[in-house]
Structure 1
């Protein structure tokens, strides 16, 4: 079992008038074989947590720690975090004109594994993953995220997840902008990823609809940069019924 441990994490981001503190002491432990749903209203700090874990340069950890199996994640560069087993599916994937999806995926796989995948095996793996996600084979030759629909961008994030095979995945609003069919396909991809029992997932979302397809073991409610409540799947049901209005400082 591997463990991602977040302790008393404080994070700020640079604003117009200087640094603004967003996270105010977050404690969270994710083990492999667990799926954690991170829920909360807009501006509650969910995406800040994701970016801080990934090492985004605009987010500064002012105190606290993050460890993966005892190793200091905050002391790692972004690429070292990826090689250690961390993966971020971004809420707003960046367009990269001039770089094809196929070249990006193979370069990423090579960087993480330290060697290029065998071509015949890699082509088969990519084809199978694309078929699972109902992605047309011509997609591989398109420029990375350029002109992609919202659904295509999110499916591509899950395509990366399946092919790069990290230990811990942070999925930042993977359900946003998806119609019901795309939501099921993306959810099936996440469930395939976790099916072996040796992966951990932090699933960031505003809504409970994706939790109909991806069953969380733990639910955490983020309010104003802190975890306001924690529980099991029944907490998501409570949020579905009552929303976030019952939490002090919550605003939808």
Structure 2
């Protein structure tokens, strides 16, 4: 079992108006075999947490810590974090002109494992994963995400998840822009990998619809850079009914818990 532990994390960014603090003391522990959903209104710090874990250079960690099995994640480069077992499914996957899907996937897998996968076995795995995710086989020869629809890009993120087999998957609003059919396919892809029992998931979302397919063990409500409330799956149902008004009101009066 592996553990990703975030302790009293404070994070800021530089803006035209000066330094802006976004995360204001976030503590969270995730273990393999667990699914944690983070929900909250826009601007509450959800994606900032994901980007900070992954090592995005825009974000400055002012204090606090992130450790993976006791190792200091904040001291790792982005590629070292990936090799340690952290995977980010991006909210807005980027296009990579000039690099085919085939070359990208095998090069990335080689970098992660330290050795190239057996070509015969690897080709079979890629084809099977693409078929499960309903990605046309021709996409293997296309440039990464170039000309792909939003739904196709999200399926490619989950393709990487299935092939790279991380310890922890951080899914940053993977459900955004997906129709019902694509949402089911993407969720099933996550669930196939999760069923191996060797991965934990941090699932960031605004809505409960993806939680019908990816069942969380824990739900955390982010408001104003803090965790305002925590609970089980029933908390997501409550948010669906009530929205975030009571949390936003608490934030306005400074009563969100630290």
TM-score band, normalised by the shorter chain? Answer: over 0.9
Q: Is the 8 A contact 1:223 1:249 kept in 2?
A: no
Q: Is the 8 A contact 1:224 1:250 kept in 2?
A: no
Q: 1:188 to 1:124 in 2, by over 3 A?
A: same
Structure 1 residue 250: Cα displacement: 7.9
Q: 1:250 to 1:175 in 2, by over 3 A?
A: farther
Q: Is the 8 A contact 1:169 1:201 kept in 2?
A: yes
Q: What is the number of equivalent residue pairs in this alignment?
A: 251
Q: Is the 8 A contact 1:223 1:250 kept in 2?
A: no
User: What corresponds to 2:33 in structure 1?
Assistant: 33
Residues 135-158 of structure 1 deviation map (CA, whole Å, 9 limit, x = unaligned): 110011111111110000100000
TM-score w.r.t. the length of structure 2 is 0.96
Q: Which SS does the other structure have where 2:43 is aligned?
A: coil
1:1-252 to structure 2, matched below 5 A, reads 1-249=1-249
Cα RMSD (Å) of the superposition?
1.1
Residues 32-76 of structure 1 deviation map (CA, whole Å, 9 limit, x = unaligned): 100000100111100000000000000111100000010000000
* CA distance, structure 2, for counterparts of residue 249 and residue 11 of structure 1: 23
* CA distance, structure 2, for counterparts of residue 197 and residue 100 of structure 1: 31
Show structure 2 runs of 5+ residues with no match: 252-258
Stretches (4+) displaced over 4 A: none
* CA distance, structure 2, for counterparts of residue 17 and residue 112 of structure 1: 39
User: What corresponds to 2:255 in structure 1?
Assistant: none
* CA distance, structure 2, for counterparts of residue 153 and residue 14 of structure 1: 29
Q: Which SS does the other structure have where 1:192 is aligned?
A: helix
TM-score w.r.t. the length of structure 1 is 0.98
Q: Is the 8 A contact 1:26 1:226 kept in 2?
A: yes
Residues 80-117 of structure 1 deviation map (CA, whole Å, 9 limit, x = unaligned): 00000000000001111111111111111010001111
Q: Which SS does the other structure have where 1:248 is aligned?
A: helix
Q: Is the 8 A contact 1:244 1:250 kept in 2?
A: no
Q: Is the 8 A contact 1:105 1:160 kept in 2?
A: yes
* CA distance, structure 2, for counterparts of residue 163 and residue 7 of structure 1: 30
Structure 1 residue 17: Cα displacement: 2.4
Structure 1 residue 249: Cα displacement: 4.8
